[in-house]
A and B are shown apart, each in its own frame.
Chain A
């Protein structure tokens, strides 16, 4: 009798047939979402393409860096939960003061998305990794979408996602957003991280060593008591130690508190609306 094994497969959650592999795309309608997903990544890695395939929207994509300058928001449903997706501007880092980097940083830092999906270019992993590590410094829940795997294969580049997963402590999904390859795994990983089924153990580069760790711990406890609701105390502490004037100003004026209390969309809109000089 061979009925035993198929029966198990039919109920096994690993079997793709048992997953809700077809997401329902809601386009712009982002009402009543259960989870908020932020899409981050370097410029020109296919973030907008990933955004489009998640939400079913047709945000214009183009093969040049800096294509997404305005806010893009959409939503989809997967396995009975509703996800709101926010496409952040592409940035190389979160450390400098340009408008788009600030938008990306403040959204991840203070908006507290349930999952931050970092889209990376598999053919240029090292440079993309800088942003990945910076994002991991400021969030506990992230997924790395290793996009453009087809280009990597064409160029004879192969990436071992298991090594990456072990190093970074987050799910790593090799994919080709243009063709949809790896898309269902991405949806699944987002779900797992969002509902806590997968607990990330994010790599923290900066706060491992002795001296810095102690300094951060000291500041952290002070910040914690001054701003009990602050989302990411450790990162704010780090920036203060770096002498970031904007963050220092935010502490002095109390803006920090306002930022940490506001939902992610508000931060996004507020920042995007900021004018050039008058």
Chain B
């Protein structure tokens, strides 16, 4: 024990001997030596052409007037390519997995002598949930992720962070939050881990608590489908793709606005403090390696995310089937819950079906839309649509989906509010678990679920009331 104290005392004395400037001297010596050595080893042959091109590009994409429009335009193009490009493979996958495989599996089950409940539970519940998730999620992800990764590989992301840095600082948050937010567009759980690049615990917590306002890929299909049905349909057919992409972009921008607003609020209340300075390097633009990017983003991101969705879809499909088929006092659990939630839902411009779907889909946002469709059909007791209680189905065209929803009492208000609620609600259970692991605190985990949920209720309620006044 004494030898330890002795060491510290000696160190203290020696520090006095060395003088106050010691620290500065050592750092100076280091930098001086680094400059000398690299000066000796490096020679330039005055070929500034490439630098000029990069500088010109940087001036354009980080300019205060052109930077933001370029960002929004790139975002819109990526969504448009995703929306337009995903339609055909989606239809193809669903015709195989749902139209062909599902009846086949059911007949195999019947041939094997499965009782009706086992056949229903396995194939109408679990299998269909998985098939729906695959056919709806795989194509947009296989388009969106490579595009996003190409932009990342090229070096555009740090420029986005550079553009947003000023805004984040004004909100009392860290500029690097722009990068973690961008990760959130892929997966919130992964983005929560990526907040480790933020050194200050205060700013890191802000980044964690607001990451949910970046739409994750599980929520893209909801946004895209509802935008196409309710908003794209308002425009002439030739423009509907463009109009729906713009609607999705609007929701994304609203999410970014919410990120700033909540960061600002937190940094003035629970997480008070000054924004810390940091230096953000604008790395050189690098030609993306196209094939490698496509390969890694399909294998590493798309399939991993899809796998997670499939794993969660299995039990969720089972739950949906059970609540629709277990009857208590004449009506199924699902019907009773929907009726109970309906008045509350209508107050928010939503309905009981949507609220129940969000409760069932806590493990994975991906299965919200199939659950909504199934419950709508069940509650409205529409004959000829769907295949029975607890069967998740997909309709052949968006037109048919729209018909089911309208028959279930949906209006354009329901569509808009569903898009907003999909942005503003609690994170999925995986993300919550990740938040708990990273913060080690139940308080912050609960807050990260409560804040967006309360905001979702407030925003949807306000819009529903304003809507009611004007129509």
Contacts and interface: CB of A to CB of B under 8 A. Distances in A.
Residue from B37, B41, B286, B289 with most neighbouring chain A CB atoms (10 Å): B41
B401 to A, nearest CB: 35
Interface string A146-171: 00000100111111110110011000
Interface in A92-142: 95, 98-100, 123, 125-127, 129-130, 132-134
Interface string A241-259: 1110000100110100000
Contacts of A252: 4-5, 8
Nearest to B153: A63
A158 B202 CA distance: 43
Given A60-B300, A275-B440, A168 B176 contact: no
A63 B29 contact: no
Contacts of A178: 289
A125 B41 contact: yes
A172 to B, nearest CB: 9
B3 A100 contact: no
Residue from B37, B154, B158, B441 with most neighbouring chain A CB atoms (10 Å): B37
B441 A278 contact: yes
A157 B289 CA distance: 23
B217 interface: no
A133 B26 CA distance: 12
B397 interface: no
Contacts of A134: 30
B283 A223 contact: no
Where chain B touches its partner, the secondary structure class is helix
User: Interface residue tally of chain B, by bracket?
Assistant: 35 or more
Interface stretch (B46-54, B94-102, B254-262): B46-54
A251 B22 contact: no
A218 interface: yes
Contacts of B22: 212, 241-242
Contacts of A2: none
Residue from B33, B197, B283 with most neighbouring chain A CB atoms (10 Å): B197
B34 interface: yes
Given A44-B283, A69-B193, A130-B31, A60 B296 contact: yes
Nearest to B280: A65
Interface stretch (B10-18, B72-80, B107-115, B458-466): B10-18
5 A-B pairs closest in CB distance:
A156-B47, A66-B197, A129-B34, A275-B440, A240-B11
Given A130-B31, A178-B289, A206-B30, 11 more contacts: A58-B296, A64-B179, A100-B196, A167-B41, A203-B33, A203-B37, A205-B30, A212-B18, A212-B22, A223-B7, A241-B22
